[in-house]
Amino acid sequence: MNFTSRRRRFAQTAVAGIALTGLLAACGGSDSGDDTDSSGPVTLDFWGWANGQEAVVKAFNASHKDVQLKYTKITDQLTMQKQLSNAVKAKNAPCLLQNTGEYVTSWVAQGALADISKYVESSKGKFNSGSWATGQVQGKTYGVPTASAPAFTIYRTDLFKKYGLKAPTTWDDFIAAGKVLKKHDIKITNYAGEDPSTLEVLAMQAGAHWYAIDGNAWKVNFQDEGSLKAAKVIQEIIDNDLNAKLSFADYAAVQRSFDNGDTATRQISTWQMSGMVQNFTKSFGDWALSPWPTFAGEAARTPAGTNQSGNLTLVSEQCEHQEQAAEAALWMSTDPGAVKTMASPETGSGVMPALADSDSYVPEAISEKLLGKNYDPAQQIVKDSLSTVTTDWTFGPNWTAMFTELQSQWGKVVSKKQTVTDLLAHMQEWTVKDLKSRGINVKG
């Protein structure tokens, strides 16, 4: 599936041993995350890596007299985790920082983030529910969403028409179509051996909960009904050789496979379409969008794991001016000019806004060149997908280490050296053991 592969470069961030009561405890800090002159405006440090942020900061500073932002561009997501860890220890964390959803719980567990609920809760209705949920831990809000990634299927209409197929509406349909395409040496999807996000997002869609908070402990369950339901779909695809096994390490080869018609579908979001446009030469106009496949008999439900691309602005616990920081974060995510700057692939990151009313940004978020006559109906597919995003997925306090272990084992699944259920059993045992080794209360 590989729609998260380019963001899955996790640091081995250590999480302090904590009981759950310490999960939400604020750590004492200094005001070194901001610089305030009694005779001038409050100045807040802001760290981020996304294209377009410098322009947004400039616009904010031009329109605000009492609060100013001082922007520092960090190289990437991985570097952010390392530099933030050092800053927290040195008690000079920035007031504002960009990050992605899977890191929030870990940073809350370390007392690094401020609970900004009282400052931002009244603005909740301005955002789509899936994006808003990524900034929450145990009902408290620690971040303002900046982007969302609607999830859908993109498929080769020419190949589906040639072989009498319709766009799959369920995973059963998807597998059946894959078996037809296999007869013509065409794979229906690609599973890269280094990218287990396929398992994560299908489990999420199926209602799995790998992590949950239970009283004063973490509950771990990689073998619940949803996880096993996802495992069954993936295993059938692998057992029947319906998937290509191309690594995203050779990005050009993966794109050629789609462009040449050797692989017929992808489950992706809007931001991946730019890579297709930049690398394709043959198949422009042959692609269309359809909703993310459902499990048979179930309502539409798309995974929140696709809300990536730097989707939060967080406020640090060490920030002396948390209210002003929270208000600045809200402005950057809701001001029309700021949102347009970040949404445009020319001036920003080319991602969909996290706003509830982001429909007007859809036309420029998808490619008419790629979709051809299918461009207009594709816009509604994108809009609809934002209303079906899961909102009850929790990232555990050792997510970074867990995902790295999952990643190390996924290649064995793709190469048929172990089953998906074997992998889930291993991850259950490994994750519980790892949490206990960190002194974290765990059930599982």
pLDDT single digits (tens) 52-63: 999 999 999 999
How crowded is the C-beta side of 11, counted as CA atoms within 13 Å?
A: 18
- Tokens representing 123 are 């603005």
Question: What is the Cα–Cα distance from 190 to 207, expressed in whole angstroms?
Answer: 23
Identify the H or E element spanning 150: none
Question: What is the Cα–Cα distance from 89 to 112, expressed in whole angstroms?
Answer: 9
What is the per-residue pLDDT for 71?
98
- Once rounded to an integer, what is the mean pLDDT over residues 259-283? 93
What is the per-residue pLDDT for 25?
35
Nearest to 66 by CA among 34, 43, 95: 43
Q: How confident is the model at residue 13 (pLDDT cuts 50, 70, 90)?
A: very low
Per-residue pLDDT reduced to its tens digit, 307-350: 444 589 999 999 999 999 999 999 999 999 999 999 887 788 87
Enter the pTM of the model: 0.83
The amino acid occupying position 12 is Q
Checking if the pLDDT of 275 tops 60, the result is yes
Per-residue pLDDT reduced to its tens digit, 98-144: 999 888 988 998 899 999 999 999 999 999 888 898 899 889 999 99
12 secondary structure, DSSP code: -
| Inter-CA distances, 416 with 16, 30, 205, 231, 422, Å | 36, 52, 24, 13, 11
What is the per-residue pLDDT for 305?
55
Identify the H or E element spanning 45: strand 42-48
| Inter-CA distances, 255 with 227, 272, 275, 276, 434, Å | 29, 11, 8, 7, 37
- Once rounded to an integer, what is the mean pLDDT over residues 35-60? 88
Q: What DSSP letter does each residue of 85-132 carry, written as one string? A: HHHHHTT---SEEEE-GGGHHHHHHTT-B---HHHHGGGGGGB-HHHH
What is the per-residue pLDDT for 91?
97
- Once rounded to an integer, what is the mean pLDDT over residues 392-404? 89
Nearest to 248 by CA among 240, 239, 236, 257: 257
Nearest to 152 by CA among 287, 350, 333: 287
418 secondary structure, DSSP code: S
Ramachandran region, residue 147 (left: φ > 0; alpha: ψ -120 to 50; beta: rest): beta
| 360 or 291, greater pLDDT | 291
What is the per-residue pLDDT for 140?
95
Most confident residue range from 7-21, 137-151, 230-244: 230-244
Nearest to 135 by CA among 98, 190, 186: 98
Question: What is the Cα–Cα distance from 432 to 30, expressed in whole angstroms?
Answer: 35
Checking if the pLDDT of 409 tops 60, the result is yes
Question: What is the Cα–Cα distance from 418 to 151, expressed in whole angstroms?
Answer: 29
* Percent of the chain surpassing pLDDT 70: 90
CB contact at 8 A, 27 and 110: yes
Q: How confident is the model at residue 5 (pLDDT cuts 50, 70, 90)?
A: very low
Checking if the pLDDT of 3 tops 50, the result is no
Checking if the pLDDT of 68 tops 90, the result is yes
Question: What is the Cα–Cα distance from 179 to 170, expressed in whole angstroms?
Answer: 14
Taking the mean position of all CA atoms in its chain, how far away is CA 64? Answer: 31
Report the chain's mean pLDDT, rounded to a whole number. Answer: 89
Question: What is the Cα–Cα distance from 258 to 256, expressed in whole angstroms?
Answer: 5
